[in-house]
Amino acid sequence: MIVPEVVPAITVSLFLPALYVGLLVGFIALLGISFQKKDLHALILTDIVGVGMLIIVAAVGTDLAEALILPGLVVQLAEIMAISEILMSREMRKTGKKVSFMPMPLKMNMEILKTAPNFLSLVLIVYGIFLTGFTGGAVAGVGILFYALSRKSRGLPFKLWEGVSGISGVAWCIWLAGFLILFVTPEIWLLGLLMSSFGILLKVASKMGLIGVLGREEIKRD
Amino acid sequence: MDIATLGGQLLGQIPLGDIVLYLTPFNLFMFVGALIFTTLIAISRTETQVEAEFGSLNDNEVKVGLKEFKIRRFLAVVCGLATAGAMITGDVFNFTLLVALIGILNIGIVSAVKQIDVLNAAFQYGLIAMIASLPLFGGAAIILASTGTLSILEIAQLSFTTPMMFFASLLLILGIAGETGIAPFYATKAEMFRTPGSPFIIIIHLSSLLVIVRAIEILLIINKPF
């Protein structure tokens, strides 16, 4: 028997209904896409197919399935970002107009946007470093994103942004090396753990910087 | 079906924790082939498309700019490495992940072009690739649910096949077909090859070809039809 004895029968019996629900969600989304004529709506409806995929993977409910869910989610996110970039650049080429990376409805030139961001983002980043790991990275990333959004009206320092993306790459390598240490030489697990936890802190925190660099000419204006 | 029957003599295994790679002449040949092609791409320059101008005797050259060239070469090299990884991996999960990566990179290679119709085709191909991630990961998940493992070596030693495993491999081949854009979905991908910058475009072809050959091996191992 594949399923261990400790798993209750009702949990095992839930697998097939969950599988059907996942396939049904995918089918409904495909129907929606087939009725749709606008490209943007088709793109948004395609995301529902991804939800169906997550339901099917989650229905398995083991730790290996959990290892499948996270990459599935990331792949889905990466694909929807890539395709929406293609859609935007196609529309920009069609109409000949440029669109800013983070559009704002009105030109805000307020005192608070010059003084507050430095302090608030510093608080968030320090708190994020104190938390460490994935959560800390997310908190620090919010701090950096907040800084970028509020400084946007005055133009972002492009050189600094490239540096942030460089840090992100190095941090990713540290994270990978930490994991490699855990697998290859388990005796020094503490070093591996610290390397991977601080690596992912820097990585997640600087993710927003990466999005910023991939963003367009708006940011290059120094 | 036995691994040795399909891929020739089992030359060895590389155990990395619970991820075990296995080496057969079949795997190694495709792995090295993908790597050689990736090296060729990394050192080559792009083509320049020459179009005859209408109403005059001049030619119109479509060139690829340096910045676009660099990005495209990087993406093509990563695509080649992902293909090589998909050839050598001994794990259904890693295989699906690398196939999904190849799908994203294929979109990325053509995403920086200026031709509107190529961007249109890339958008359609992207939609198909995204939809195909449901059968791809869903198939891998159902294989995990029906066999209890994702390692191909373990699956090859199972003595039984269930209808659920057959269903899962149907989903898997559907997902791979959509993600790499082969026959039923080829119409979405065909227009993408009209963009200039030839050696990088060929990796899109080569990756889908090699991935399909490897996918057939994996499906034969899972289903044991003979």
Supply the pLDDT for residue A220. Answer: 45
On chain B, the residues whose CB falls within 8 A of the CB of A85 are 111
Residue A76 forms part of a structural domain: yes
Q: Taking a contact as any Cβ pair under 8 Å apart, which residues of chain A between 163 and 182 contact chain B?
A: none
**Residue-wise pLDDT tens digits, A28-51:** 988 888 887 788 888 888 888 888
Number of domains in chain A: 2
C-alpha closest to that of B190 among B124, B96, B130: B124
Contacts 24+ apart (CB under 8 A), B2-5: B2/B156, B3/B152, B3/B153, B3/B156, B3/B221
Residue A201 forms part of a structural domain: yes
pLDDT more than 90, % of chain B: 0
Average pLDDT over residues A50-58: 87
Q: Bigger pLDDT: A62 or A163?
A: A62
User: The domain containing residue A171 runs over which residues?
Assistant: 112-220
Supply the pLDDT for residue A133. Answer: 66
Flag whether residue A36 sits within 8 Å of chain B, measured between CB atoms.
no
Whether A64 and B150 lie within 8 Å, measured CB to CB: yes
pLDDT exceeds cutoff 60 at B162: yes
Q: In Å, how far are A27, B70, B187 from B110, measured between CA atoms?
A: 29, 13, 16
Whether A151 and A51 share a structural domain = no
On chain B, the residues whose CB falls within 8 A of the CB of A76 are 130, 133
Calculate how close chain A gets to B15, using CA atoms only, in Å: 11
User: The domain containing residue B213 runs over which residues?
Assistant: 3-223
Whether A117 and A214 share a structural domain = yes
> Got the DSSP string for chain B?
--HHHHHSS--EEEEETTEEEEE-HHHHHHHHHHHHHHHHHHH-----EEEEPTTSS-EEEE---HHHHHHHHHHHHHHHHHHHHHHH--BHHHHHHHHHHHHHHHHHHHHT---HHHHHHHHHHHHHHHHHHHHHHHHHHHHHHHHS--BHHHHHT-----HHHHHHHHHHHHHHHHHHT-GGGHHHHHGGGGSS-HHHHHHHHHHHHHHHHHHHHHHHHHH---
Q: Bigger pLDDT: A3 or B41?
A: B41
**Residue-wise pLDDT tens digits, A59-117:** 888 877 777 788 888 888 888 888 887 887 787 777 777 666 555 556 666 676 677 77
Write the single-letter amino acid at A27: F
Supply the pLDDT for residue A100. Answer: 60
Residue A1 forms part of a structural domain: no
Whether A80 and A174 share a structural domain = no
User: Which of A63, A95, A127 is the last residue in one of the domains?
Assistant: A95
Q: Taking a contact as any Cβ pair under 8 Å apart, which residues of chain A between 115 and 174 contact chain B?
A: none
Average pLDDT score, chain B? 81
Q: Bigger pLDDT: B80 or B4?
A: B80
Which range of A43-47, A122-126, A218-222, B13-17 scores highest in mean pLDDT? It is: A43-47
Whether A116 and A216 share a structural domain = yes
pLDDT exceeds cutoff 70 at B1: no
Supply the pLDDT for residue A217. Answer: 43
Supply the pLDDT for residue A108. Answer: 63
pLDDT exceeds cutoff 60 at A214: no
Residue A2 forms part of a structural domain: no
If pLDDT is split at 50, 70 and 90, which confidence band does B69 have?
A: confident
Whether A125 and A195 share a structural domain = yes
Supply the pLDDT for residue A175. Answer: 85
Supply the pLDDT for residue A13. Answer: 83
Whether A211 and A135 share a structural domain = yes
Whether A56 and B134 lie within 8 Å, measured CB to CB: yes
**Residue-wise pLDDT tens digits, A106-146:** 666 667 667 777 788 788 878 877 776 667 777 777 777 77
Whether A117 and A198 share a structural domain = yes
Residue A73 forms part of a structural domain: yes
Whether A207 and A135 share a structural domain = yes
User: Global pTM?
Assistant: 0.75
Calculate how close chain A gets to B16, using CA atoms only, in Å: 8
Residue A104 forms part of a structural domain: no
Whether A38 and A64 share a structural domain = yes
Residue A4 forms part of a structural domain: no
If pLDDT is split at 50, 70 and 90, which confidence band does B71 have?
A: confident
pLDDT exceeds cutoff 60 at A210: no
Calculate how close chain A gets to B17, using CA atoms only, in Å: 7
pLDDT exceeds cutoff 60 at B79: yes
Average pLDDT over residues B56-71: 76
Number of domains in chain B: 1
pLDDT exceeds cutoff 50 at B55: yes
Flag whether residue A51 sits within 8 Å of chain B, measured between CB atoms.
no
If pLDDT is split at 50, 70 and 90, which confidence band does A216 have?
A: very low
If pLDDT is split at 50, 70 and 90, which confidence band does A162 have?
A: low
Residue A105 forms part of a structural domain: no
**Residue-wise pLDDT tens digits, B175-194:** 898 888 887 777 777 777 77
pLDDT more than 70, % of chain B: 94
Least confident of B20-24, B130-134, B206-210: B20-24
Whether A33 and B108 lie within 8 Å, measured CB to CB: no
Strand partners, B14: B21
pLDDT more than 90, % of chain A: 1
